[in-house]
Structure 1
Amino acid sequence: MSVEVGSPVEGLAAALSEVPDPVFSQAMVGPGVAVKPSGGRADAVAPVAGTVATLHPHAFVIATSDGTAILVHLGIDTVKLKGEGFELHVAKGDVVQAGQRIVTWDPTEVESHGHSSICPVIALDVVPEALADLREDGQVIAGDPLFVVD
């Protein structure tokens, strides 16, 4: 079963190689696409329908009914902000729909603390060949397709 993964934020789609963190840029946690978010306070939404498997202010994982797990990381080194500037709208274990608001945050505020606001969107525990239709450039709005997991 194919899973279409949508953008969690509005911004510019980019290759993972552009993420300033080797864990993501070298696809150590899995393949995917990054999004350079538009500035200003905004919502990060679920990229797929499923269950909130992991939830931190700066990152979350949604597991689909077939077991595909998608990680969204809001910025790089944002764990150092200890949740400041992030507002959670769901709890771990919640069932969510694609496009549902998960976290409200401010990419401009993240950058003001010296961190990159780029958002890796990663398919966990899959081989790079399992991804199709990668969108690695151009403007996206929240919900626009970034890639398909086959």
Structure 2
Amino acid sequence: MTTVTSPLTGRVVGLANVPDPVFSGAMVGPGTAVDPVREPTEALAPVDGIVVSMHPHAFVVVDDEGHGVLTHLGIDTVQLNGEGFELLVNKGDKVVRGQAVIKWNPAAVEAAGKSPISPIVALEATADSLGSVREDGEVQAGGELFSWS
């Protein structure tokens, strides 16, 4: 069983409320989303594992059980070409839950006309393999979002 924790402090809004049909339709996978606080912050690793994909706006960490967790910082943020994002780790690095992975500013993303709402998705999972999925309420970075069996 993998516990997936929030990479961000903010308000849990659930995948259905992500302003992108690929995420809201769970086409990438099941999970939830966080509307982050509007201040410079660090996105944290949601699980212990290896960083297998690293972009300024998104990263994937695969844990020892082979579960890949995608953290996507905002919607359409790839269009910012990395501006306002600072990578703190590299692809291939081993990370521990709660370790800072990317520095970014959700307020700057919003000012650039993009949504800072950030999906946290269980890749190659089925909805019934997730438990205790948070869909609402305030969350601190490191707070539990869902479990994955």
Distance 1:53 1:138 in 2: 30
Could you say what secondary structure the match of 1:20 adopts?
Answer: coil
CA shift, 1:120, in A, is: 0.1
Instruction: Determine the structure 1 residue equivalent to 2:103.
Output: 104
- Provide the C-alpha distance between the structure 2 equivalents of 1:15 and 1:82, rounded to a whole number of angstroms: 26
* Aligned ranges 1:6-45 → 2 under 5 Å: 6-45=5-44
Secondary structure at 2:46 match in 1: coil
Aligned-partner SS, 1:110: helix
- The aligned amino acid for 1:63 is V
Give yes or no for the alignment of 1:136 onto 2:135: yes
Q: Alpha-carbon deviation of 1:14?
A: 1.3
Which residue is equivalent to 2:54?
Answer: 55
Which residue is 2:81 aligned to?
82
Count of aligned pairs between the two proteins: 149
TM-score for both structures, normalised by structure 1: 0.99
What is the TM-score of this pair, normalised by structure 2?
A: 0.99
User: Match for residue 121 of structure 2?
Assistant: 122
Q: Cα RMSD between the aligned structures?
A: 0.4
In 1: Cα distance, 2:93 partner to 2:12 partner: 28
Partner of 1:64: 63
Unaligned runs of 5+ residues in structure 2 are: none
**One-letter amino acid of the counterpart of residue 66, structure 2:** G
- Runs of 4+ in structure 1 over 2 Å off: none
Give the deviation of 1:6 after TM superposition. 0.3
Q: Distance in 2 between matches of 1:135 and 1:66?
A: 22
What is the Cα deviation at residue 138 of structure 1? 0.8
Q: Secondary structure at the match of 2:108?
A: helix
Q: 2: distance between equivalents of 1:21 and 1:46?
A: 23
Residue identity (%): 51
Partners of 2:14 and 2:44 in 1: CA distance: 20
Paired with 1:5 and 1:47, the residues of 2 have a C-alpha distance of: 5
Secondary structure, aligned partner of 2:4: strand
Q: Per-residue displacement from partner, 1:3-41 (whole Å, max 9, x unpaired)?
A: 000000000011100000000000001000000000010
Shift of 1:57: 0.4
Deviation at 1:75, TM superposition (A): 0.1
Q: Secondary structure at the match of 2:13?
A: strand
Report the AA paired with residue 49 of structure 1. D
SS at match of 2:8: coil
